[in-house]
Structure 1
Amino acid sequence: MDVSGELATVGVAGASALVAAMMSDGWRGVRDWVARLLGQGQGEAEARHVARLDRDRELLAAAPEGEDRSGAVLASWTVRLQDLADEDQEAGRALLEFVNRWREQNPEAAEKASVVRQSAKASGKARINQVGGSQTVINPGRS
């Protein structure tokens, strides 16, 4: 199976699944698997990754109503997982297989974890500020 093209974006797919799983019932299994993958069999490294994963889950869970913190968590895990896949293709393949299996087993969560693209256009003196998944259009000419 040639997965080299898919490995180029496995970080995004893995992070999307990871962030979606953070708020699901199957979190502990996902957390432990990701920690083992990143820790590469070293107990101390695995423990550090478990702590980081738990910290990020708590950050998401503690968000005030209406505040979405998933963008920041998603971005940081995308970089970590993509670096892993770039440095170790075998680990990248394992991550890709895990993501595909997770998507099959969790179709609702997988649908929510899909990448969202937003686009906006401002004209005149208006400007658009986007933070995470929230978008604000500011037009100084109108109040």
Structure 2
Amino acid sequence: MGSILDVSGELATVGATAASALVVAMAGDGWRGFRGWLGSWFGRGGESAAARQLDRLDRDRAALVAVPEDERADRAGDLSAAWAVRLQDAADEDHEAAQELLDYVKQWRSDHPEAAPQVTVVRQRAEAKGKSHVTQVGRDQTVINPGRS
């Protein structure tokens, strides 16, 4: 049996792909349909798992739409990063579910072309010297120099 990358390179990043569409849907007209589908998708782990994830989705959506418009992009980025990890973890556990999620997102984007997210490129460059090292998680960087306290 091959690895997930052997099956499809897209499945290796399904979490980020789905999270991007999810956050766009949270702030737009496609929210109810996306939420309902995700509830069924999360339901594979049982009703309590689905209810827990739907509660989290609802809280995150409420937080997103409550922030002022000029702060929404930052909040959306944070939510997208968090949901990318959650969705990828779930997808990594079940490759069939990962493919279903990817197929749904592709269909959702096809049905909602106006909701296509703006593509942005973020480049970060960090350099560590000596015994220092750089750790990057999402968009945050931490430079650790063990020689300094």
Using the size of structure 2 for normalisation, the TM-score is 0.72
Question: What's 2:34 paired with?
Answer: 30
Which residue of 2 is the match for residue 96 of structure 1?
102
> 2:42 aligned with 1:42, yes or no?
no
Deviation at 1:115, TM superposition (A): 4.2
2:90 aligned with 1:84: yes
Q: Pick which of 88-97 and 64-73 moved more.
A: 64-73
What residue in structure 1 maps to residue 66 of structure 2?
62
CA contact (8 A) 2:25 2:31 kept: yes
Deviation at 1:41, TM superposition (A): 5.8
The alignment-based identity, stated in percent, is 55
Q: Which is helix-richer, 1 or 2?
A: 2
Deviation of 1:17 after TM superposition, in Å, equals 0.5
Paired amino acid for 2:56: R
SS for the counterpart of 1:118 is coil
CA shift for structure 1 position 36: 1.8
**Structure 2: which 5+ runs fail to align?**
1-5, 126-137, 140-149
Q: How far, CA to CA, are the matches of 2:7 and 2:102 in structure 1?
A: 9
Aligned-residue Cα RMSD (Å) equals: 2.2
2:30–2:112 Cα contact (<8 Å) kept? no
Q: Aligned-pair distance for 1:4? A: 2.0
Contact 1:16 1:115 in 2 (8 A): no
Output the amino acid matched with 1:55: R
Corresponding position of 1:19: 23
* Alignment size in residue pairs: 120
Alpha-carbon shift at residue 86 of structure 1 (Å): 1.3
Q: Give the TM-score, by structure 1 length.
A: 0.75
Provide structure 1 residue ranges, at least 5 long, that are not aligned to the other structure: 122-131, 134-143
* Alignment of 1:71 onto 2:72: no
* Whole-Å separation in 2 of the counterparts to 1:43 and 1:56: 20
CA distance in 2, matches of 1:33, 1:57: 16
